[in-house]
Chains A and B, each alone.
Chain A
Amino acid sequence: MSLLTVVFALLFYVATLILIGGLAYRIRLYAKTPAPLKIPTMPAPTTKSGVVVRMASEVVLFNSLFKSNKWIWIFGWMFHFALLLVVLRHLRYFIEPVWTWVVLIQPFGIYAGFFMVLGLLGLWARRLFVERIRYISGPSDHLILALLVAIGVSGLMIKFVFPTDIVAVKAFFLGLMRFDLQPLPTDPMLLVHLLLVAVLMIIFPISKLLHAPGIFFSPTRNQVDDSRERRHLAPWAAKLEQGND
């Protein structure tokens, strides 16, 4: 077993632990922290099923962003939807036998790779050339875009310019999942691609990428408008009522 294989295996074990552990910690924190007051942005749904619809329209269609700014919406939605397709396409490296629907989306996943990079470049262009968005952008905002673009471009390069032995890559990842290490091909573009993905996994739970779980816990979006009908009381607020005046 080559040193390289061992290093990448360890890297992915660590990255997976950080990603899952970090996200679990953050989600637990969000879930445990009370929302003491009813603050839905009105008009808001008056039923729980209404909230599910509202949340779905935010998560799937980026409804509020659409109302806000069409350019950010187009690039943002293009990037996220393409990323979803790309990730689903990559499922084939982790399951055996490959599910039929994963086989069926393979060609779309390739197009999505281009659209993902295009969406990211659009967002980056706004960050660079729109004065007020440049003003609010810090180094980490540019670096995360750079990281995602590099992941997308290196992936496309493997597909179209520097092909690698994907059967071996699949064996490596299946091996990782079964704790049975298999050799990883040593093509530089593949190694760059995998390294960057591992970096993305590691920074996910400590960066603004937390917006992904965050939106589900956003009180302005997930609360039901029923404050006159149902009493909403946080545990710490209930304590104020003991020994009440």
Chain B
Amino acid sequence: MADYEIPKLNPELDVPEIPALEPDKMAGLKPFVAAPAHQEPLGFPGELVDNWQQVAIDKMGELLGKYRSLQVYLDSCVKCGACTDKCHYFLGTNDPKNMPVARQDLLRSVYRRHFTFAGKYFPKLVGARDLTEEVLDEWYSYFHQCSQCRRCSVYCPYGIDTAEISMAAREIMDAVGKGQKYCNEILGKVLKIGNNLGLPEPALVDTLEGLEEDIKMDTGVDVRLPVDVKGAEVLLITPSADFFAEPHIDGLIGYAKVFHQAGISWTLSSYASEAGNFGMFIGSYDTMRKAALRIRQAALELGVKRIVVGECGHAWRVAYSFWNTLTGVGAGADDPFGQMLQKQLDPRYPQPQHICELTSDLIDRGALKLDKSANDHRVVTFHDSCNVARATRMGDRPGGQFEIPRKVIQSVCANYVDMAPDTIRQNTFCCGGGGGLLTDDLMEIRVKGAMPRMQALDQVMNENGVNTMASICAICKSQFSKVLPYYDKPMHMIASVHQLVSDSIILGAKE
């Protein structure tokens, strides 16, 4: 199946054994480099610029002045080793440069050389390095073997977040003209057309009409999937994978049934038909903001009262944690459009709201009639997606991001089991495909990085008969569909949370 070794699972252990080191084992794995056509629309140079060393150092200096996280984290690491066994990519590849501290050191060594006294005058002593072509090559490999999942930041005594370092590194690489094709091509599409797939409005409308027919055939009920409806109450911003990929699409049908059954008027937008925002992955505040502003504009044009976000991990991070900053969706921005939007949105609801928060509230109010027995053939576990778990919240209380999806699942499924505690909630292991790595050219690291999650899943499959793993992230769903077979597990065992809701919801029960 593959020309590399698939890691072995050890179902005796909750968390994989710490491997013996195999230095530079993954040095050769690099994603495709972005072509000028992918770079230039984002304002990055098309190819490696002549004086790239100087440009890179200047960019690093600029970022050090703009991001306290970068400055503090590059200074503060004491090499205690607490993070060394926490990264799923290290556990799956044995390559020590995939240990969070070693990954950071790839950048820190250059920072020290150029920005610290010790590194300028005693480089050997403090491990400072000049920025050579080999170093840039290493950056390109290993900063694209980080899914920015932040598991290391949970365990670091100073909260050093490798995601911040890898975002900065990618931003520097973009600035010198060595961007990653996958992310930058997608960002071009989202800024030009409105979604990561480059799906234009007619195709979107067509797809949704087809889905409406499917639901009608399935249930006999006219459940709508509306696009660009002015005056709708809710604007749903969902990952575009929900429009075509499995099992995402079943989740989308689930949202539609929830809205239908609760009697909430809603709409999608063809101008902003993407929740995902890869601007975060490449560390570009500016690109991230441009993509987010499309959503604000769509909300203004459609005159909606609420903005709800579908099942997508990093999108919920951008929405929950960054939208208020980037565009004022939340407490409102000072510019005229921000003010206008603030007047328009309904203050009785959290803005933005996660679809799981919305469904959970409806369940609490008894607005949905649910039949758990529809999911009796399933024994379900829940994969906490890293961005949702460690970078966002749902509900009023810390930890709501763990409780609310579980509550929704348990309201529609009788058989629910959690995986080992060290692998869920705040400690969750990344699916292996996040952070801009969900591309075929990085398949090897995706398969190996999934190992810790696969092992914990293996345990509950053997011990509890789990046959379904639910998730609320488009990337997790795509990644698991692809890697489950490498570990001899059925690809269809990955499910959307709202797919489970969809199967159990009794339509028309209120009428």
Contacts and interface: CB of A to CB of B under 8 A. Distances in A.
Interface of A: 26, 29-30, 33-39, 41-46, 58, 62, 64-65, 67-69, 72, 76, 123, 126-127, 130-133, 135-141, 143, 203, 206-208, 210-211, 214-215, 217-221, 225, 227-234, 236-237, 240-241, 244-245
Contact of A67 (B154, B160, B289): B154
Given A30-B68, A141-B79, A39 B391 contact: yes
A133 to B, nearest CB: 4
B99 interface: yes
Given A41-B391, A43-B402, 16 more contacts: A30-B68, A33-B66, A42-B390, A42-B426, A43-B399, A44-B393, A58-B159, A64-B82, A131-B20, A132-B81, A138-B79, A140-B127, A203-B118, A214-B72, A228-B351, A232-B324
A139 B157 CA distance: 22
Given A43-B399, A227-B320, A231-B330, A64 B155 contact: yes
Given A33-B68, A64-B156, A228-B351, A206 B325 contact: no
Contacts of A126: 81
A158 to B, nearest CB: 28
Contacts of B331: 228-231
B293 interface: yes
B69 A133 contact: no
Contacts of A228: 320, 324, 330-331, 350-352
Contacts of A44: 393, 398
A214 B75 contact: yes
B155 to A, nearest CB: 4
Contact of A138 (B76, B84, B85, B125): B125
13 contacts: A29-B71, A36-B325, A68-B86, A131-B21, A136-B105, A139-B124, A139-B127, A208-B75, A210-B76, A211-B76, A211-B78, A221-B159, A236-B66
A243 to B, nearest CB: 9
B145 to A, nearest CB: 17
A234 B68 CA distance: 11
Nearest to B402: A43
Given A228-B350, A230-B331, A245-B293, A67 B155 contact: yes
B401 interface: yes
A10 to B, nearest CB: 21
A225 B65 contact: no
A139 B118 contact: no
A233 B325 contact: yes
B18 A132 contact: yes
Contacts of B328: 231
B426 A43 contact: yes
B392 interface: yes
A12 B330 CA distance: 53
B81 A130 contact: yes
B105 A37 contact: no
B75 A68 contact: no
A132 B389 CA distance: 28
A223 B72 CA distance: 14
Interface string B223-234: 000000000000
B367 interface: no
Interface in B151-165: 153-161, 164
B309 to A, nearest CB: 12
B69 A227 contact: no
B117 interface: yes
Contacts of A67: 154-155
B324 A221 contact: no
B66 A42 contact: no
B126 interface: yes
A41 B153 contact: yes
Given A64-B159, A228-B330, A237 B80 contact: no
A30 B337 contact: no
A205 to B, nearest CB: 9
Contacts of A29: 71
A237 B68 CA distance: 14
B101 interface: yes
Contact of B76 (A132, A206, A214): A214
Given A42-B393, A133-B84, A136-B105, A218 B67 contact: no
Nearest to B158: A215
B80 A76 contact: yes
Interface in B402-449: 402, 426
B324 A231 contact: yes
B330 A215 contact: no
Interface string B112-150: 000011100000111100000000000000000000001
A58 B393 contact: no
A186 to B, nearest CB: 31
Contacts of A123: 80
Nearest to A227: B321
A77 to B, nearest CB: 10
Contacts of A234: 66
Contact of B390 (A41, A219, A229): A41
B66 A36 contact: yes
Contacts of B402: 43
A62 to B, nearest CB: 6
B322 interface: yes
A217 to B, nearest CB: 5
Given A131-B21, A136-B99, A41 B154 contact: yes
Contact of B150 (A41, A233, A236): A41
A39 B320 CA distance: 11
Contact of A62 (B21, B96, B157, B351): B157
Nearest to B156: A64
Nearest to A38: B321
Contacts of A41: 150, 153-154, 159, 161, 390-391, 426
Nearest to A63: B157
Nearest 10 interchain pairs by C-beta: A214-B76, A43-B398, A220-B159, A68-B155, A133-B81, A68-B82, A138-B127, A221-B159, A65-B157, A33-B68
B310 interface: no
Contacts of B161: 39, 41, 220
B426 A36 contact: no
Contact of B82 (A42, A72, A236): A72
A214 B101 CA distance: 16
Contacts of A42: 389-393, 398, 401, 426
A220 B399 CA distance: 16
A39 B390 CA distance: 9
Nearest to B86: A68
Nearest to A143: B125
B72 A30 contact: yes
Contacts of A227: 320-322, 324-325, 330
Contacts of B156: 64, 68
